[in-house]
Amino acid sequence: MEGSHRDRRIDYIEFAVADIARSKAFYGTAFGWTFTDYGPDYCEFSDGRLKGGFDASGPVRPGGPLVVLYGSDLLEILGRIEAAGGKIVKPIFEFPGGRRFHFTDPDGYELAVWSET
């Protein structure tokens, strides 16, 4: 059955953003994502495994579910996020099975990056 491998799995994440160019610069610099533009108000991103979109056609709505990214070198990624203009809102902390930190992007979305211990 076509599409059954995607059934009940995260398939796409969409962020309402104020400025697509700023979002592309942030996520491209911090994480190396690639982008495909679909007009002035929409851009698809890819992290190499998962795709999503930046939508600038309506108001920014920070919040929603916490999106957690994986990173093998937390300190290196934390530095990249800060260099790209992100803000660390919860410093690196340990939890059973790993470590993580939280940050906000230029539109105020809070995300996290984790790594195994």
Backbone conformation region of residue 64, classed left if phi is above 0, alpha if psi is from -120 to 50, else beta:
left
pLDDT higher than threshold 70 for residue 58: yes
Indicate the length of the chain as a whole number: 117
Reported as a single tens digit per residue, the pLDDT across 86-102 is 999 999 999 988 999 99
Domains of the chain with bracketed CATH: 4-116 (3.10.180.10)
Mean pLDDT of the chain: 91
Q: What is the pLDDT of residues 3-48, one digit of tens each?
A: 567 667 778 999 999 999 999 999 999 999 999 999 999 999 999 9
Taking the model in full, what pTM does it have?
0.81
